[in-house]
Amino acid sequence: MSSESMGMDSRRPVPMSVRERRLATLQRTGLAKQRKIAVQAPNSTFYGIMIVVSTLTLLGLIMVLSSSSVSMFMGGESAWKLFQRQAVFAGFGVALLVFSYGRPYSEIRRHVSFILAGAVLLNLLPLIPGVGLEVNGARAWVNFGFLSFQPSEFLKLAVILFCADLISKRHRYVAVPRRTLWPMLSVMGVAVLLCFAQEDMGAAVIFAGIVLTMCFVAAMPLRYVAGVGAMFAFVGVLVLAARDNARQRWMAFLDIESTKSHTGYQVYQSLLSIANGGPTGVGVGTGTSKWGYLPLSYSDFIFAVIAEELGLVGALAVIGGFALLAFFGVQVAIGARDMFGTLLASGITAWFSIQAIVNIGGVVGSLPLTGLTLPFLSYGGSSLMTSLVAAGLLLNVARNMK
């Protein structure tokens, strides 16, 4: 073969791989920029969130089986009943996670108003006689016989999406209350009033925490943020003063010894379970708290079962998991390539972090008992599926970091 032909062969273009052709097409058509489709490989933050969420969800399935099997069997039901339901919820939740991750969040943003309106309408259902279901003093559930759910879980995500959209559109006017603060307060006020009407004080705390965190991240003047926080605290005190039962439940943690026979019973039993676990736990499935001593051991108090069966090691692992999730969430918010992504990641991170702190604090007797679930771990389809949708959106923003 002549040197000339060899030179011609060396000048032939190298065939493009499938990935290279895909990236070139996205860049040429403008889809990568217009629809905010990620073209770079996922970073370590993305994988960190995925690992933490997967681990917490799988641990939750195991602990729901462990904590519910005895009570179900003693009630004449299948010991696998709640585990099977939770597994179905997890399956639907993963499908929703994939959907919320796979679509550009700029498209989801277009439907924020409809999402918020739908969530508000759903939260009116618990107030309708015959439809609303009262659980532990809170009328926060909807029961259609074959289906029951907690609408406030959906409203949390809807409020986050609305506030992120509002502030990102008006971030230049963040210091003008009538352009940003008042609309956000209106939405938060509606959400909190619905929670008060449902006697769900715990959810009201989460809504306030989410909105205040997003205001802070948006660089709203601190005097406004502090004023809103003080106003919410004042309204909360008035509500507790007017409702004796709610006040007794919330204040029981201050003196568990004298209230252990009534309002402080669950927290007292929870502390006994945690103490029984010791450093390494008694083993998965062998805890005693779920034998009728600790009500709602598979839901609100699943952290106590984890501490008993997996010990201090397991309890610290769960706390560390949420701490890692908060850390990764902050990294996503810092690295997001637009204001909407930053605020969306901040709101979701605040939601998971605050709710985990409030739940675990209530279980160990350090904070008032609110009836909130522990994200990804507690039994409940509404909580698990909405948490997984939010995790998908967080992964969506993480995939599109700068």
Return the structure tokens found at 242.
Answer: 């007017």
The total of other beta-carbon atoms located within 10 Å of residue 136's CB is: 15
What 195-199 contacts at long range (C-beta under 8 Å, 24+ apart), as own/partner pairs, is 195/140, 195/152, 196/239, 197/127, 198/123, 198/126, 198/127, 198/132, 198/138, 198/139, 198/140, 198/152, 199/137, 199/138, 199/139, 199/140, 199/243, 199/246
CA–CA distance, 147 with 47 (Å, rounded to integer): 34
Q: What is the mean pLDDT of residues 238-262?
A: 75
318-342 pLDDT, tens per residue?
999 999 999 999 999 999 988 999 9
**Confidence at residue 247, expressed as pLDDT on a 0 to 100 scale:** 72
Parse the chain into domains and list their residue ranges.
46-399
Predicted local distance difference test score (pLDDT) of residue 22: 55
pLDDT at res. 146? 66
pLDDT digits 0-9 by tens, 274-284: 999 899 999 88
Long-range pairs, 14-20, Cβ under 8 A, ≥24:
none
Residue whose pair of structure tokens reads 């406030």 in the numeric block: 152
Within 13 Å of residue 52, how many CA atoms lie on the same side as its CB?
Answer: 26
List strands edge to edge, sheet with 148-149: 132-135, 138-143, 148-149
| SS3 per residue for 323-352 | HHHHHHHHHHHHHCCCHHHHHHHHHHHHHH
pLDDT tens readout for residues 366-386: 888 887 899 999 998 899 999
Percent of all residues in the chain with a pLDDT value above 90, rounded to a whole number: 40
* pLDDT in the model for residue 8: 47
pLDDT band at 23 (very low <50, low <70, confident <90, very high): low
Q: Which of 229-233, 290-294, 358-362 has the highest mean pLDDT?
A: 358-362
Q: Flag whether pLDDT at 25 surpasses 80.
A: no
